[in-house]
Amino acid sequence: MATRPTWAEVSLANLRQNFRTVVKHVGARITVCAVVKADAYGHGAVECSRALQAEGAKWLGVTSLDEAIPLREAGIESRILLMTGFWRGEENEIVHLRLTPTVWEPWHIESLENAAASAGTLHGVHLKVDTGMGRLGVALAELPSVLKALAASPHLIVEGISTHLASSEIMDAPSVAEQERRFEEAQRMVRAAGFDPTLAHVANTSALISRRETWNNMVRPGVALYGYYLPFQRAGREVSGGTLRLPVKPVLTWKTRILSLRNFAANQALGYGGTYVTKAPAHVAVLPVGYAVGYNRQLSNRGRVIVRDHYAPIVGSISMDLTLVDVTGIPGITVGDEVILLGTLDGLSVDALEHARLANSSPYEILCNISKRVPRRYES
């Protein structure tokens, strides 16, 4: 029996609508690989993958084999792209589960070729090229040797080629054009070596919104599916409006309940370190949520929640399992009242982007950090 008074509500209807919004934005000729890595950005990968598959997602993107296995065990039949490769010893399971690994190392190719040969099957792979991100992928100078290894692997099919942009949300970043140029050069080299990958993909959420030239014929939306995208910048300043919008809706609402109510006189220090001192008599609610479940400590004395159709500011330092909010003047407050930590109610909104700005973070981190101690309740 679930009794924890802090939970997250996940709207699968909003998730499906967001997927449809992305598909409409890029058009029917562009394949959408729906990214469900990091437990679907904290939303629950199995449940979200089921909803996305039902909505027509033919491709899902995960980080690694351990994220793909639960999807196959849950009956997910969509193609699954392992976006950060694999570890030695995982190749047989990858072939068995019909997963599509990203490759760039010669040993990737050798081990997969052996596994596919042993299984008596042909197996698709996506070749990743490092065009300037400096993380994963084969550099252009090393690409000929990798292509030679692929040519010597008759059981592998180079089905796709990809790269990753370092600054897709920075509109005037010169590195993006250079990365595009290098990716085009890589594709020419791949074709010259006799390969004809049917899929090419570069664009993440930011690029599919702002850089149509990067779409190729596959895009990899992640955080957009869950209702967010990073603010765009030009000349170091945030820009918005115009075409830099995608009408997606947040999928997750995070809630808790008031655990206790306290009355304090003026000049009372609250919480660890006494970082907040009441300026007048105050009515304070204690919430059973803290940084142990991912409620960011940087919201201390800065963030806010929604309770009884009012904003209530966080006062004092957020502790491991408790947070204080000032509910002075809010009528009818009682123990057990529902409190929205992330979400919207009657025109009031506290979203992951607001948390990210206050915490000098990103909506990705805010969502992914919501602990598994927080039960997810799925609404279709």
> Within this chain, do residues 335 and 283 fall inside the same structural domain, yes or no?
yes
Residue 374 within a domain: no
Residue 373 within a domain: no
List the CATH number of the domain containing 221: 3.20.20.10
- For residue 241, what pLDDT is reported? 66
Q: Is 272 a catalytic residue?
A: yes
Rounded to the nearest angstrom, the gap between the alpha carbon of residue 45 and the centroid of all alpha carbons in its chain is 11
Q: How far apart are CA 198 and CA 200, in angstroms?
A: 7
Boundary of a domain, candidates 206, 239, 272: 239
User: Per the residue annotation, which of 58, 148, 272, 372 is the catalytic one?
Assistant: 272
> Within this chain, do residues 89 and 229 fall inside the same structural domain, yes or no?
yes
- For residue 164, what pLDDT is reported? 97
Q: How far apart are CA 160 and CA 260, in angstroms?
A: 56
Contact of 115 with 95, CB cutoff 8 Å: yes
Give the residue numbers spanning the domain of 270.
Answer: 252-350
For 128-173, the pLDDT digits (tens) are 999 999 999 999 999 999 999 999 999 999 999 999 999 999 988 9
- For residue 2, what pLDDT is reported? 57
> Within this chain, do residues 224 and 140 fall inside the same structural domain, yes or no?
yes
User: Per the residue annotation, which of 24, 37, 228, 378 is the catalytic one?
Assistant: 37
Residue 356 within a domain: no
Of 320, 306, 292, nearest to 258 by C-alpha is 306
Residue 27 within a domain: yes
Of 232, 226, 241, 228, nearest to 168 by C-alpha is 232
Q: How many domains does the chain have?
A: 2
> Within this chain, do residues 50 and 199 fall inside the same structural domain, yes or no?
yes
Boundary of a domain, candidates 188, 217, 239: 239
Give the residues of the chain that fall short of pLDDT 50. Answer: 1
HSE-CB at 205 with a 13 A cutoff on CA atoms is 24
- For residue 243, what pLDDT is reported? 75
Residue 375 within a domain: no
> Within this chain, do residues 231 and 261 fall inside the same structural domain, yes or no?
no
CA-based max dimension of the chain: 78
Q: How far apart are CA 185 and CA 161, in angstroms?
A: 12
- For residue 138, what pLDDT is reported? 98
> Within this chain, do residues 55 and 129 fall inside the same structural domain, yes or no?
yes
List the CATH number of the domain containing 309: 2.40.37.10
Share of the chain above pLDDT 90, in %: 94
Boundary of a domain, candidates 195, 210, 239: 239
Q: 197: exposed, middle or buried (C-beta count within 10 Å: 0-12, 13-18, 19+)?
A: buried
Q: Is 378 a catalytic residue?
A: no
Contact of 329 with 255, CB cutoff 8 Å: no
Q: How far apart are CA 184 and CA 100, in angstroms?
A: 22
Identify the residue whose tokens are 């890595």. 37
> Within this chain, do residues 179 and 256 fall inside the same structural domain, yes or no?
no
Q: What is the 3-state secondary structure (H, E, C) of the chain?
A: CCCCCEEEEEEHHHHHHHHHHHHHHHCCCCEEEEECHHHHHHCCHHHHHHHHHHHCCCEEEECCHHHHHHHHHCCCCCEEEECCCCCCCCHHHHHHCCCEEEECCHHHHHHHHHHHHHHCCCEEEEEEECCCCCCCCECHHHHHHHHHHHHCCCCEEEEEEECCCCCCCECCCHHHHHHHHHHHHHHHHHHHCCCCCCEEECCCHHHHHHCHHHCCCEECCCHHHHCCCCCEEECCEEECCCCCCCCCCCCEEEEEECCEEEEECCCCEECHHHCEECCCCEEEEEECCCHHHCCCHHHCCCCEEEECCEEEEECCCCCCCCEEEECCCCCCCCCCCEEEEEEEECCEEECHHHHHHHHCCCHHHHHHCCCCCCCEEEEC
> Within this chain, do residues 98 and 184 fall inside the same structural domain, yes or no?
yes
Residue 372 within a domain: no
> Within this chain, do residues 200 and 259 fall inside the same structural domain, yes or no?
no
For 196-212, the pLDDT digits (tens) are 999 999 999 999 999 99
